[in-house]
Amino acid sequence: NHTSIGGLGSCVAEMIAKFGIATKLIKVAINDTYLQGASRTFLMERYGIDIKSLLRAIESLLGEKVDITEADLTTSRLDSFFNENQQEAL
């Protein structure tokens, strides 16, 4: 689901092409590689799909800095929805 080949970004790119939408697409995805096992937090940061990577991609697309601080991110965490001991649904 998060890979650069055949993942969500590819689906979005297909829809953009299908409907002839003139826009720029930046994929935030895992490169086609073998992945290691570790905690969700570590892996998301390691492979560039964490919130900081998403913000950098948004800033790149917009051509300007977004006004989101580390404090803003701390108050809006999704960690409570996930449990590190819980298996990811496939």
> The tokens of 63 are what?
């051509």
DSSP designation for 19: T
Nearest to 12 by CA among 25, 31, 30: 25
pLDDT of res. 15 = 95
- In this structure, what DSSP letter does residue 81 have? G
Q: What is the pLDDT along the chain (90 residues), one digit of tens a residue?
A: 678 888 888 899 999 999 999 998 888 888 888 888 888 888 888 988 888 888 998 899 889 998 888 788 777 666 555 566 666 554
pLDDT at residue 49, as a whole number: 86
How far from 6 is each of 15, 17, 66, CA to CA, in Å? 13, 15, 29
DSSP code of 7? Answer: S
Q: What is the pLDDT of residue 90?
A: 45
